[in-house]
Amino acid sequence: MNYRKLGNLEVSALGLGCMGMTGVYGSGADRSAMIRLIHDAYERGVTFFDTAEAYGPFANEALLGEALQPIRDKVVIATKFGFDIDLETGARTGGTNSRPEHIKAVADAALKRLKTDRIDLFYQHRVDPAVPIEDVAGAVKDLIDAGKVGHFGLSEAGVQTIRRAHAVQPVTAVQIEYSLFWRGPEVELLTELEKLGIGFVPFSPLGAGFLTGKIDETTTFEKDDFRNLVPRLAPEVRTANMALVEVVKSVAARKAATPAQVALGWLLAQKPWIVPIPGTTKVHRLEENLGAVDLDLTPNDLAEINAEAAKVEVQGDRLPEAVLKMTEN
């Protein structure tokens, strides 16, 4: 495993996104199997694990806390605040809540579920239009000063919000979707992050599984799988979007790699401070994903991928409309 820096926070070059272990992409997986998978990831060099209070709610943090407790001091745990979730019942309104007092209460609750005394990286999950970002950054600064949080992160935040937050409490990492399937961050975000010295954590780096080549026009998802709601994964646009998968398949065949490895390798090659967090519930997929770290994509390979991908006009939005409304990108 190679290691990279998010700001001054060192993590494995690939992290593990844990969201799908307790649902979202269909029913959650067996708890004991997921604990074993998390241990397997660590044994293969992964030190960066991503969760959130909203995943469940609460169930994902509790799973990760149990799994990582024996190796707590050897890993980096990232979790998130920012949705309006009742801390007792888990009931949620669907809205945001980044009031400073709520942020601090979420942190205390997360510490208990994660069975730890500090959160290494604490992201605002979505920007709250009702709370100035300076107040949010100030609340996290208080948590850092108290030793409860190590680093501050933002998720799905725009450049102006990032600048304002960074002026109050330095931002260590920004998390936004980024892959060959969604290249929005290239417009201005990557340039700004480089200028500010902020690391970048792309979520959904395999396009919710689409770039693995395992999803085609005939694929059906479980009824409670979030991908049923994603416009660019709708059956009527998959045929057109499969052209992008053919790009990574072509390079993969030549490199004796898989499409997933090429897609992740392409991301890793963009900047040395990019740390994707692919998720999985299967050990063989974990092994496959980690193989991307050692994949050597030459400048010619990267130029070919970019040139061929530029010919594909991806159809459909990256997220459902209601979710897109909560992003700044």
pLDDT tens by residue, 140-165? 999 999 999 999 999 999 999 999 99
Dihedral over alpha carbons 261, 199, 5, 248 (to 10 degrees): 10
* Residue found under tokens 């997933």: 260
Single-letter amino acid, residue 325 = K
Indicate whether 22 belongs to any domain: yes
The pLDDT, as a whole number, for residue 329 is 75
> Is the model's pLDDT at 168 over the cut of 80?
yes
The pLDDT, as a whole number, for residue 200 is 99
The pLDDT, as a whole number, for residue 49 is 99
DSSP state of 225: B
| N-term to C-term CA, the chain | 32
Indicate whether 282 belongs to any domain: yes
Q: Which two tokens stand for residue 239?
A: 């045929």
| Residues of the domain holding 288 | 3-324
Distance, CA of 319 to CA of 266 (rounded, Å): 22
Overall domain count for the chain? 1
Contact 116, 109 (CB under 8 A): no
Question: 55 an active-site residue?
Answer: yes
Indicate whether 329 belongs to any domain: no
Distance, CA of 302 to CA of 177 (rounded, Å): 20
Task: Tell if the pTM clears 0.85, that is, is over it.
Answer: yes
Indicate whether 91 belongs to any domain: yes
> Is the model's pLDDT at 92 over the cut of 90?
yes
CATH number at residue 289: 3.20.20.100
Indicate whether 70 belongs to any domain: yes
> Is the model's pLDDT at 312 over the cut of 80?
yes
Mean per-residue pLDDT, 317-327:
95
Mean per-residue pLDDT, 297-309:
98
Indicate whether 21 belongs to any domain: yes
Query: Which of 157, 159, 77 lies closest to 116 in space, CA to CA?
Result: 77
Distance, CA of 88 to CA of 62 (rounded, Å): 14
The pLDDT, as a whole number, for residue 38 is 98
Rounded-to-5 percentages of helix, strand, coil across the chain: 45, 20, 35
The catalytically annotated residue of 42, 55, 123, 178 is 55
Indicate whether 234 belongs to any domain: yes
> Is the model's pLDDT at 27 over the cut of 90?
no
Count how many Cα atoms sit within 13 Å of the Cα of residue 156 in the half-sphere of its side chain: 21
> Is the model's pLDDT at 45 over the cut of 90?
yes
Indicate whether 101 belongs to any domain: yes
pLDDT tens profile 255-298: 999 999 999 999 999 999 999 999 999 999 999 999 999 999 99
> Is the model's pLDDT at 26 over the cut of 90?
no
